[in-house]
Amino acid sequence: MNRLPALLAALALLVAAPLSAQTLESPPASIDYQGRVLDVNGNPLVPTTPTNYTMQFRIYSTATGGTALWTESQIVTVDNGNFSVRLGEGVAVGSDPRPGLATLFDAKDRYLGLTVIIPNQTPGEISPRLQFLTTPYAMTAQKATFATRATTADSVAQTGGNSTLGATTVGGNLSLSTPSTRLALSGNNLIELGAGVAGKHVNAGTISYGTLTTPNTLDIVGAGTNATNRAVKIFAEAGTTFTGPVRLAGTNVLELGQGLAKGQNNGNIGYGAFTPNTLDIVGAGSTDLNRAIKMWANSTEFTGNLFFGSRTSQLLNLYGTNYGVGVQTNTLYQRSALRFGWHVGGSHVEGEDQPGPGGTRIMTLQNGNGLQVFANKSQGNPGSVTIGLQAEFSGGLPAMEFRAGVQNPSGGAPELSIGYLDFSGSATPDFDVRMVAYKNASAGSRINFQNLNSSGFTITVNDAAVALQSFCDLDFKKEIEPYRDGLDTLLALAPVSFEWRRDEFPSLVFPAGRHVGLIAQDLAKVVPDAVMTNFDGKLSVDFSKLVPHLVGAVQTQQARIDKLEADNAALESRLSRLEAALARLDAANP
């Protein structure tokens, strides 16, 4: 199909709903848009079967070029070239801007660009762009910013933003359309009702909430008295109920029942004017959770101690009784419906076990899943996690650490999983003994035991085979020389037959019967690197260290055998020649 170079006739732009003679306070945030798409030959796009196309709509401040102020993508059905969409009901295009349509029409130059995405063709914007005319600009009616020219009106209604009124006489009601709007007086300006009328608190100057009848009135009397520095005095015969907060700034005092012995017989609250500046709650509380005081606070700070008394209970309820902190006999507990989480940094967000924007999840303790630690704390391996146990003793910090993470060996494929179990007997971060577990898709499973000062060994489990391995790679070795002294080493060893002292060392579970082996003390004189001293001073033998000596001994013997066989072959050849010569002599001298 040919690329569309132009969007031809039969285009219309309409506000989503018609405006009445009185401008809408909140016009619809969408625009109806109809058009017809033709190819370069003047034929309608998809003249037979309705087909869906992705269309991208952009609003610019220029007829050509420039940066889009608003972008949206929609799946649009095209039938015989005709289509109809409602701008504002699509989705954003990547990170391109997509503010509310009502915010765009605050200037006269606004143009609509259209791009039709056709498979196997490079998308391009249809030219020319279509300029918006009068109707969409009616959206700005919701943003009337100034009303400074109004001087007299039966009513003044403001639907959004701020209105500044000069000397204005209102013959009707001055109304605020929504609870979130307010009537504000800047600076030292005053609002006065019933100007010139004496005794405003009796028959005029009433500010009413609800109805204009008593007792739903708020009377403002005078400018206050110096005795209590009071600017507002509230008279209430049947009591006053506040649905919102009552705030006292600075060191001002809220005092109830002045002159009465508070906290003894009437449950009054005093702070600041009473010794010792306490908040006394009188009564046993309500049956609702047996509480004596209930507080709602966006931000409540305590500079001293918060004391809950001496009885055992769930002292602090959080989000109902299923979450809280309490005390039982000799037990401090934290109650949760499923898990306990520890997050660092960030801000609160709803959801389960979420650290929030900018936060880091450190630990989760969950019913059924146990303890999970997520912090990166292992030495030298930023991709792993450490759980450590330490016990402090004189001269060091014996410790056991479990580390889990992913390791990428130099020059090799990354391990799928890896875990450490480290044992340390000092305050240094180095380990004395390390057990490392690997799992690799090609190499199978391995358990590697390491000592800080030795090469260690590895147990490999692959399918049904189990092998004990030691580090032997060429990459780990230097100053390599041939070794041929194994035979002399083995000849210096003294194999013995023996029985284990099972009765004297039952905890070692030695096997019964006679055995053949070596004595570690004797072996240490011949192959010292094969003998190790345990923590209890006893000796143990790494018999894998004897393998190189065995190999060297076999090679030495084989070299000697090869030489003897060569010498024997030479002698046999010589003997054969001598025998042949003798046979010839015998034949010549019968």
Provide the phi-psi class of 319: left if phi over 0, else alpha when psi is between -120 and 50, else beta. left
pLDDT of residue 151: 44
Tokens of 122: 């490079």
Listed residue (19, 22, 47, 41) closest to 31, CA to CA: 19
CA dist., res. 219 & res. 232, Å (int)? 9
pLDDT at 480: 86
CA distance 28 to 512: 94
Q: CA-to-CA distance for 173 and 151, rounded, in angstroms?
A: 15
**Dist CA 158 CA 173 (whole Å):** 12
Can you give the pTM of this predicted structure?
0.34
**Domains in the chain, start-ordered, CATH in brackets?**
12-143 (2.60.40), 193-243 (no CATH), 339-373 (no CATH), 384-476 (no CATH), 481-590 (1.10.10)
What is the rounded CA–CA span in Å between residue 172 and residue 175?
9
Q: Which pLDDT value is given to residue 514? A: 94
pLDDT of residue 254: 56
CA gyration radius for the chain?
47
- At 285 the pLDDT is 47
What pLDDT sits at residue 315? 81
Closest CA to 339 of 358, 356, 354: 354
pLDDT at 221: 46
Please state, in angstroms and as integers, the Cα–Cα distance from residue 121 to each residue in 1, 52, 53, 58, 429, following that order: 9, 16, 13, 20, 62
The 10 Å Cβ neighbour count of residue 153 is 15
* Residue of 47, 30, 28, 48 lying closest to 38 (CA atoms): 47
Mean pLDDT of successive 10-residue segments in the chain (590 residues)?
40 39 56 85 84 92 93 93 91 91 84 90 87 66 42 48 60 63 62 56 46 47 46 52 64 56 45 48 47 53 72 82 87 86 88 87 82 58 62 59 57 56 64 70 64 58 61 82 82 91 87 92 90 85 86 87 92 91 86
Name every residue whose Cβ is closer than 8 Å to that of residue 69 and which is 6 or more positions away in sequence: 59, 60, 61, 97, 99, 104, 110
pLDDT in tens, 224-248: 444 444 445 555 445 566 666 666 6
- How far apart are the C-alpha atoms of 149 and 167, rounded to whole Å? 10
> Is the torsion defined by CA of 496, 499, 504, 507 positive or negative?
positive
